[in-house]
Structures are given as C-alpha cells and as structure tokens.
C-alpha cells in the first residue's frame, strides 16, 4: 500500500514537472500572468477606488461579493465545528450517565 | 540549460512539496498526519501562485506610491509593482484552507471521542468488531 502511494506520488510529480517545462521563467516581468489582466488593476484602481493598496481594492471592492461569500464559508465552517463538538459532548455525557 | 534550471527550479520545489503532502495524505495512517499533509499540499499551491506574481528588477509590493499627491494616478509604471492578483486570490485560498483545517480537526476530535484512537486501521478494526 505504501509502495502504491509512493508510486502514485512520484508519477503525479513527474507529470507536474513535465507541465512546468513550458512555464515562463521565475520573475519574468513579461510573463502572461503579469501582462494580461493585472496592468488594468494597477492603472485604474486608484481612480476607481481611491485606495493606494491594490490588493485591498481588488479584494474588498472589485471582488467585494466574493469576499462576502467567503465570510459565508467561514461562518459555515465555524457553525460546523461548533455543532460537531457540542453534539459529541452531549452524546458522551449521556453515555457516562 | 543552466539558465533554464535557474528559471524553473522554484516550480520543481513546489511540485516536491506538493507531492510530500499528497503522499502524507495517501500513505499515513494517523489522521492528524493526514491533516498535516493536506496543509502542506495547500501551502505548496499558495507558494506556487505567489511565485507567479514576482517580477524581477526594481519591484515593490503592490501599494501605489505618491497616491495622495494628486498626480500619482496617471503615471503608474506596472513594471515597478508586483502583480496584485495572485496575492488577492491566495488570500481567498488561505481563508478556505483555515476553514477546511478547522472542520477537519473537529471531525478528528469526534472520531477520537468515539473510538479512543486516531490510527486508521485500529478504527476500521473497531468498526468491524461492531
């Protein structure tokens, strides 16, 4: 079983490394990720949102609804934790009695 | 060839880190070790994304300089600031990572309370015994 997992990990790693051979070089300022969409935000975020921090303006303004949904994710996870731990405590209490 | 290795070895480091986490998730029997593997896996993805935002040269964090002077808005040199979008997306991914970690640890605590062990094979034995 361990050998099988190791073989799977090595195989997937080899495929991923094969995929990185076409990636742009590290720190290349002309890579597609750095030239395609992000210049728009760097150019316009100050006049659109009046915030010098571009990360903040994208997170809280352009993607504001996404951040709102993220709070739902955190809320759901917190509720799941609370319900799980409370249910466990109650069941164990019943078993002890 | 040497230039190619220098330009790409960071990706190979992330692949290695990711596969360490993947192996831990598959092969380890202890549930806490599986959760640690999941965290290593997610951290490798986050490092990979952050590394795509790097630009070599005279680059700082994506906070615009002279933003409040009144004349900074029109002359933004994009080669002077790191790419902000991977940072934003990974902020979202970190939130999801924390949420999954919390739920996973809560479920693990429940399993420990029910079976008094965290070893997978012992849990399966306990279930088979009924």
- CA-nearest of B115, B55, B46 to A33 is B55
Q: SS3 of B30, please?
A: strand
Q: What letter does residue A24 receive in the DSSP assignment?
A: P
Angle at B42 between CA B24 and CA B59, to 5 degrees: 135
Tell me: pLDDT of B47 over 70: yes
- Reported residue count of chain B is 130
Residue A69 in tokens: 């949904």
- Per-residue pLDDT averaged across B2-16, rounded? 91
For helices A38-49 and B84-115, give the axis angle rounded to 10 degrees: 90
Cβ–Cβ below 8 Å for B81 and A59: no
> Confidence class of residue A97 from pLDDT cuts 50, 70 and 90?
very low
| Lowest-confidence segment of A16-20, A27-31, A52-56, B124-128 by average pLDDT | A27-31
User: What is the reported pLDDT for B74?
Assistant: 61
Lowest average pLDDT, out of A7-11, A72-76, B7-11, B69-73, goes to B69-73
Average of pLDDT values for B35-62?
92
Residues of B in contact with A33 (CB under 8 A): 52-53, 83, 85-86
Output the CA angle B56-B60-B61, nearest 5 degrees: 120
Q: Taking the CA atoms of chain B, what radius of gyration do you get in angstroms? A: 22
Nearest CB neighbour to A27, from listed B56, B68, B87: B56
Residue in chain B closest to A10 (alpha carbons) equals B19
Res A79 pLDDT > 80: yes
The 10s digit of each residue's pLDDT in A3-33 is 999 999 999 999 999 999 998 988 888 888 8
Q: 41-100 in B: which are within 8 Å (CB) of A?
A: 51-57, 59, 62-65, 67-68, 72-73, 76, 78-79, 81, 83-88, 91-92, 95-96, 98-100
Residues 6+ apart with CB under 8 A from B52: A31, A33, A34, B83, B86
Mean per-residue pLDDT of chain B: 89
Structure tokens at B109: 């605590």
**Interchain proximity B64–A85, CB inside 8 Å:** no
Query: Could you report the per-residue pLDDT of B63-111, keeping only the tens digit for each?
Result: 888 777 765 556 678 888 899 999 999 999 999 999 999 999 999 999 9
Task: Work out the average pLDDT over B3-27.
Answer: 93
Q: HSE-up of A85 (CA within 13 Å, CB side)?
A: 11
> Residue A39 is encoded by which pair of tokens?
């210049």
CA dihedral A11, A13, A14, A17 (to 10 degrees): 160
| Smallest Cα distance from A71 to chain B, Å | 9
Distance from CA of A16 to the nearest CA of B (A): 7
Question: Domains of chain B, with CATH numbers?
Answer: 2-63+76-129 (1.10.287.3510)
* Predicted pLDDT at B73: 53
State the pLDDT at residue A76: 94
Q: Which of B23, B55, B84 sits opposite A55 (nearest CB)?
A: B84
Q: Give the integer Cα–Cα distance in Å for B8 and B12.
A: 7
CA distance B103 to B34: 14
Question: In which band, very low, low, confident or very high, does the pLDDT at A90 lie, cut at 50, 70 and 90?
Answer: low
Of B59, B106, B114, the CB nearest to A85: B106
Cβ contact B16–A13 (<8 Å):
yes
């Amino acid at each position: 079983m361990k050998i099988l997992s190791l073989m799977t990990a090595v195989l997937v790693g080899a495929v991923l490394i094969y995929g990185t051979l076409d990636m742009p070089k590290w720190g290349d300022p002309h890579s597609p990720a750095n030239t395609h969409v992000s210049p728009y935000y760097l150019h316009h975020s100050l006049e659109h949102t009046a915030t010098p921090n571009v990360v903040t303006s994208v997170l809280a303004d352009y993607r504001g609804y996404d951040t709102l949904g993220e709070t739902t994710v955190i809320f759901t996870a917190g509720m799941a934790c609370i319900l799980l731990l409370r249910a466990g405590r109650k069941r164990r209490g019943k078993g002890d009695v | 060839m040497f230039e190619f290795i220098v330009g790409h070895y960071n990706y190979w480091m992330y692949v290695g880190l990711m596969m360490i986490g993947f192996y831990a998730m598959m092969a380890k029997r202890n549930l806490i070790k599986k959760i640690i593997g999941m965290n290593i896996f997610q951290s490798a993805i986050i490092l990979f994304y952050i590394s795509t935002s790097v630009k070599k040269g005279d680059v700082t964090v994506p906070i615009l300089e002279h933003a409040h002077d009144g004349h900074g808005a029109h002359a933004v040199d994009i080669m002077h600031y790191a790419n902000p979008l991977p940072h934003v997306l990974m902020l979202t991914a970190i939130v999801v990572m924390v949420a999954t970690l919390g739920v996973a640890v809560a479920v693990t605590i429940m399993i420990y309370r029910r079976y008094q062990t965290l070893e997978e094979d012992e849990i399966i034995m306990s279930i088979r015994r009924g």
